[in-house]
């Protein structure tokens, strides 16, 4: 019996992989412009990192991790997200000691979550994310948001909307929490089972519940933004001002939460018109408590993550074609054994000089080889028969203009380079 791909994963085949490469390259370019540098961390980490760095009460840690015991009896987890590992590496490699601060990093890599698969929700998916660690200044909040927005804009995505919120800090959150719990206690019996237990453990997350009754109950709940402290309130105002300055439109959504102690202040999500029920394509925020949580000093941080899968779905839904090219520069057709031998050498020369070039390997007739050249959308077809070999020339046919001419072997590269 044939073996099938695991549920929630996908092969990225030639034809589609060029779109991935294009998006990844765009992400890298924009990071370079914003002065973020790439970091590559392992695909698996000690499980404890995610318990501490993502949070015990999150869906990710409670339900979605791929955790196993390795042969050395360690609990290992395939990374479900990127931030915890980046912060671990930041602490472990003492990046805070670098005179250039904040430390601005980005990653592109596979993440693993045991989810119920659907379009845009995979068990293995690829995230592009950035982290800026070591600065409180609201301009860095706005900068990370801008980086994500500009990337989408440059890819041609339309109908973007940005929602922002402040989730406060360890000073203002307990005050809000008290008000929130008092409000929710009144209708506790009506909350869903999950939310009833959240009420004690992590009431903020009730604001995030998709259950219609819970949504209804939280509609009137007090907003965190009403209780922001003397530090968080002006910070939030300043982030908004910076976004205004950058001409980036947003709406404040006081329901948006990241219900963990070490997520603080700015939280944001970017939505795009397009595909199905899931419209969120990017999520991010500040995590001023995270570095300490993972064993470092008290260092603020902010970042976001987006999956390439959801970018691609959005592009498809919006009928946006990326300018990717897969054509060959040259296809070399040789007729006869001696010519075939010479063609191998010419092909190698072309490739050494940077041309994407190929030939036939399966003994096709001339006509079928021309067809193959056509399928590869070769810009030039180079023909080498016995006559040409004797004359030490190759016929170069420009497939756009139809022009063809004989070019001496030793001028082949310069001829093609000049065109
Ligand atoms: P959702 O509410 O859709 O489950 P999330 O809150 O779990 O999202 P984050 O952990 O903030 O998402 O991840 C940031 C981004 O990563 C999302 O906005 C989305 O683009 C992408 N993402 C998250 N989970 C998946 C998944 N299972 N498959 C594909 N992309 C994902
Ligand atoms: Mg999720």
- For ligand 1, say whether the CB of 280 is within 6 Å of any of its atoms: yes
Residue 16 is classified by DSSP as: T
Q: What is the pLDDT of residue 234?
A: 97
**CATH of segment(s) 330-418:** 3.40.50.800
- For tokens 């119920």, the residue is 116
CATH 3.30.930.10 residue ranges in the chain? 17-172+228-317
Are the CB atoms for 172 and 235 separated by under 8 Å? no
Nearest ligand to the CA of 304 is 1
Task: Tell me the C-alpha distance between 19 and 322, whole Å.
Answer: 7
> For residue 308, which phi and psi values (nearest 5 degrees)?
-65, -35
Interstrand relation of 393-398 and 380-384 (parallel, antiparallel or unpaired): antiparallel
Residue 308, helix vs strand vs coil: helix
- Which residue among 80, 282, 283, 311 has the greatest number of ligand 1 atoms within 8 angstroms of its CB, and so is best to mutate? 283
Q: What is the pLDDT of residue 17?
A: 97
User: By alpha-carbon position, which residue is closest to atom 29 of ligand 1?
Assistant: 121
Interstrand relation of 251-252 and 75-78 (parallel, antiparallel or unpaired): unpaired
* Cα of 412 from ligand 1 centre, angstroms: 51
CATH 3.40.50.800 residue ranges in the chain? 330-418
Are the CB atoms for 8 and 123 separated by under 8 Å? yes
Q: What is the pLDDT of residue 88?
A: 98
**Low pLDDT (below 70) residues in the chain:** 259, 275-278
pTM: 0.93
Task: Tell me the C-alpha distance between 116 and 114, whole Å.
Answer: 7
Helix, strand and coil percent figures for the chain, each rounded to 5? 40, 20, 35
* Cα of 309 from ligand 1 centre, angstroms: 10
- For ligand 1, say whether the CB of 307 is within 6 Å of any of its atoms: yes
Q: Which atom of ligand 1 is nearest to the CA of 81?
A: 10
* Cα of 60 from ligand 2 centre, angstroms: 7
Q: Which helix (H) or strand (E) holds 313?
A: helix 308-317
CA angle, residues 368, 373, 375, in degrees to nearest 5: 90
Are the CB atoms for 133 and 296 separated by under 8 Å? no
**CATH of segment(s) 17-172+228-317:** 3.30.930.10
Q: What is the pLDDT of residue 400?
A: 94
């Amino acid at each position: 019996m044939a073996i099938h791909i695991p549920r929630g994963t996908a092969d990225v085949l030639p034809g589609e992989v060029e779109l991935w490469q294009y998006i990844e390259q765009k992400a890298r370019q924009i990071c370079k412009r914003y002065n973020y540098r790439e970091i590559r961390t392992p695909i698996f980490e000690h499980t404890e990192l995610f318990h501490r760095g993502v949070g015990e009460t999150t869906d990710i840690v409670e339900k979605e991790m791929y955790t196993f015991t390795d042969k050395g009896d360690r609990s290992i987890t395939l990374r479900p997200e990127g931030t915890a590992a980046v912060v671990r590496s930041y602490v472990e490699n003492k990046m805070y000691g670098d005179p250039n601060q904040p430390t601005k990093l980005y990653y592109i890599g596979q993440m693993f979550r045991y989810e119920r698969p659907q379009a845009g929700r995979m068990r293995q998916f690829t995230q592009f994310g950035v982290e800026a660690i070591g600065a409180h200044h609201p301009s860095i909040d706005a900068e990370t948001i801008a980086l994500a927005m500009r990337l989408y804009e440059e890819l041609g995505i339309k109908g973007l909307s940005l929602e922002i919120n402040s989730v406060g800090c360890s000073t203002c959150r307990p005050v809000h929490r008290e008000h929130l719990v008092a409000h929710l206690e009144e209708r506790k019996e009506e909350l869903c089972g999950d939310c009833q237990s959240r009420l004690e453990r992590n009431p903020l997350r009730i604001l995030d519940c998709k259950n219609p009754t819970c949504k209804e109950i939280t509609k009137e709940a007090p907003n965190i933004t009403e209780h922001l402290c003397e530090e968080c309130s002006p910070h939030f105002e300043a982030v908004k001002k910076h976004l205004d300055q950058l001409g980036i439109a947003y709406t404040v959504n006081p329901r948006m939460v990241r219900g963990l102690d070490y997520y603080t202040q700015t939280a944001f999500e970017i939505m795009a018109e397009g595909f199905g029920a899931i419209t969120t394509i990017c999520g991010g925020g500040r995590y001023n408590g995270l570095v300490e949580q993972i064993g470092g000093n008290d260092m603020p941080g902010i970042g976001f993550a987006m999956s390439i899968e959801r970018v691609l779905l959005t592009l498809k839904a919006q009928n946006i074609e990326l300018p990717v090219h897969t054509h060959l520069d040259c296809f070399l057709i040789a007729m006869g054994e001696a010519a075939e031998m010479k063609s191998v050498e010419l092909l190698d020369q072309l490739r050494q000089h940077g041309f994407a070039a190929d030939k036939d390997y399966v003994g096709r007739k001339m006509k079928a080889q021309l067809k193959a050249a056509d399928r590869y959308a070769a810009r030039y077809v180079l023909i080498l028969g016995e006559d040409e070999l004797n004359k030490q020339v190759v016929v170069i046919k420009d497939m756009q203009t139809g022009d063809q001419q004989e070019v001496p072997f030793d001028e082949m590269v310069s001829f093609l380079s000049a065109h």
